[in-house]
Structure 1
Amino acid sequence: MHAHLYKTSFNLAEYLADVAVQALLDEVNLSPKPALVDQRGCGAHDDLNLQLMEASAHSLSPMFKLMAEAGQEHGVICQALREHIGVLGRQGEQQMLNITQGINTHRGAIWSMGLMVTAASITYWQPEHLTVLGLCQTAGQIACLEDRFLPKATLSHGQKVREKFGVHGAKQHAQQGFPVITQYGFPQLLCSRQNGIPEKFAQLDALLSMMAHISDTCVIHRAGLSGLKCMQIGAQQVLDLGGSATFAGRQRLKQLETDLLVMRASAGGAADLLATLLFLDRVQQQKSIMKIRDKSNGNT
């Protein structure tokens, strides 16, 4: 199939929305994540469970599709695009809250994943930019544009933590081009895979690598800076012991979970970034498959 024919028969917006939702589902089902919702239970949360998180993920599909279509419509990074997806994000959040009866399940993921879906829709037919690093940079450029129509709302937990402790939240991390993903999560995912570690444990190790370096405002809100330090040190120690696939690593992971549960601390920010990383990884892999297919068919 020639590339231009593939473009016309391939619904990019639907594809990106499907991958985004699947990434959210894969993240929440990945087990055992320390003190996070997974197939074993609700972790440090009293108001969340696996079924609720899955329903929330599915509710965001229309929003992701509209964001991808917005990226295609505008075609470039611009103020109008930023404000377009801002409106869509707020509408998607309201749909999520309708489904969850007001419980915040994926507010952070709407931000990070929404940016990535938009970035991918702009650059999908530019292979040199459709890499994890390239997409994070594009998403960061979008995030740097201020949304002039953002309602003056009460501060979120993350914003309160940022003001009180002076740490970077999700907005600043995005504007920097998602360094926790590009410098820690994705390299760890590749390293674990190259070492022959089963995919589940490779993804857990990627999560732990990000937990070891992120200033997770979800954890700080619940457990302060001491809780953050406990999480970061514990996650790094799991990796130092060989990762989640080793016996020693799993024992330390259990202890980390116990410590976080005592503090009622949940690394929700790191979980959002893991879902975002899984989205990026799948889009990059799919694009590589398409390039190989085109070459084998003699297309340019």
Structure 2
Amino acid sequence: MRALALNYVSPLTHAGLADLAVLALLEEVRLTPKPGLVDLRGSGVHRDLTLRLMEHSAESLRTTFDLLAQEAARHQWVNQFLREELARLGRLGEHVMLQETGGVNTHRGAIWALGLLIGGLCVRQAPATVPDLLNNAGALARMDDRFHVAGQSSNGAQARIRYGVGGAREQAARNFPQIMDGLEQLYRSRKAGMSEQAARVDALLAIAARLDDTCVVHRSGLEGLEWMQQQAQKVLTVGGYGTRAGQTCYDTLEAGMQQRNASPGGAADLLGACLFIDSLITRGVIAWKS
């Protein structure tokens, strides 16, 4: 399989790119602790999810990510046809995921976010920096999928309609601003000498502090969302999860999420996207900023 047509320090095949996407999802789900979410300690507030199920789901998407990269590489730049082919392949990947999980939605949001990023990355007129990549992904998200057939409304879609929040689609259409929030916090915490675990928890909290997370809204309404955002920001304000004060504030956040039976699933999906982009930067696939 040929290498991607980008200025890599080390050539990366489409299959290699898919491996990085799967690895990012595995690293996200294994990150511990995460408030209300599946992690190494257990299933959080989710009765239908386990760590093993989430890992199996991530592994099942390897072929989907490979096909997404191959399709994007056929195009000079982002365009309507690419948008619709990515959507078609994403729906096939969703079908595989649901078959593998017995109908449980484990990674629908991650397929959406990573699919757009892979599409925006692998076009022949490739982006040079992370903002360029997010611009490409946003341009794809803003294009209509003329072949999408509306089916059963998801929990996130219901929350968007009921509460008027933007959700995953608006986040993508705005060039994923919370992915930038997460990456900036990840690098800020690393620079401050935090452990990699603490830096990644901080990245998750930075996303959660500003994201209109429909997973939280569905379970606990706007009050729950606002409370989570405030508490996530409080952890960061006192120094982050790697500090004693930050861990005390984090414990309050986690207890409150358990009480509200809520978890920031949308933020977790975007953390996976952050870890994917971070792996691309580390390997010299793309620059952080110009």
TM range (shorter): over 0.9
1: CA distance between counterparts of 2:152 and 2:101? Answer: 20
Q: Of the two, which has the highest radius of gyration? A: 1
If each structure's helix is expressed as a fraction of its own residues, which one has the higher value? 1
Residues 187-222 of structure 1: per-residue CA shift (max 9 Å, x gap) = 111111111111111111011011111110000000
One-letter amino acid matched to 1:174: A
Look up the match of 2:117: 116
Look up the match of 1:222: 219
1:82–1:145 Cα contact (<8 Å) kept: yes
One-letter amino acid matched to 2:253: L
Measured after TM superposition, the shift of residue 262 of structure 1 is 0.9
1:257 aligns with 2:254: yes
Look up the match of 1:247: 244
Measured after TM superposition, the shift of residue 142 of structure 1 is 0.8
Residue 206 of structure 2 is aligned with which of 202, 206, 209?
A: 209
Look up the match of 2:48: 47
Gaps of 5+ in 2: none
One-letter amino acid matched to 1:65: D
One-letter amino acid matched to 1:181: I
1: CA distance between counterparts of 2:116 and 2:234? Answer: 32
When the two structures are superposed, what TM-score results if normalisation uses the length of structure 1? 0.90
Where do residues 229-244 of structure 1 align in structure 2 (5 Å cutoff)?
229-244=226-241
One-letter amino acid matched to 1:49: T
Look up the match of 1:66: 67
2:60–2:97 Cα contact (<8 Å) kept: yes
1:115–1:139 Cα contact (<8 Å) kept: yes
2: CA distance between counterparts of 1:223 and 1:50? Answer: 23
Q: Runs in 1 of length 4+ with deviation above 3 angstroms?
A: none
2: CA distance between counterparts of 1:31 and 1:287? Answer: 28
1:68–1:121 Cα contact (<8 Å) kept: yes
Look up the match of 2:27: 26
Pair 1:243–1:166, CA change in 2 (3 A): same
Residues 141-199 of structure 1: per-residue CA shift (max 9 Å, x gap) = 111111100112122111111111111110111011001112x2111111111111111
1:130–1:284 Cα contact (<8 Å) kept: no
2:137–2:172 Cα contact (<8 Å) kept: yes
Measured after TM superposition, the shift of residue 93 of structure 1 is 0.4
1: CA distance between counterparts of 2:141 and 2:223? Answer: 30
Local SS of the residue matching 2:74: helix
One-letter amino acid matched to 1:167: V
Local SS of the residue matching 1:155: coil
1:223–1:263 Cα contact (<8 Å) kept: yes
Measured after TM superposition, the shift of residue 130 of structure 1 is 3.4
One-letter amino acid matched to 1:154: Q
Look up the match of 1:298: none
Look up the match of 2:136: 138
1:281 aligns with 2:282: no
Measured after TM superposition, the shift of residue 121 of structure 1 is 1.2
1:132–1:281 Cα contact (<8 Å) kept: no
Question: How many pairs does the alignment contain?
Answer: 283
Let me know the Cα RMSD of the aligned residues.
Answer: 2.0
Pair 1:289–1:181, CA change in 2 (3 A): closer
Local SS of the residue matching 1:36: coil
2:138–2:174 Cα contact (<8 Å) kept: yes
When the two structures are superposed, what TM-score results if normalisation uses the length of structure 2? 0.93
Measured after TM superposition, the shift of residue 13 of structure 1 is 1.0
Look up the match of 1:297: none
1: CA distance between counterparts of 2:12 and 2:231? Answer: 43
Pair 1:130–1:54, CA change in 2 (3 A): farther
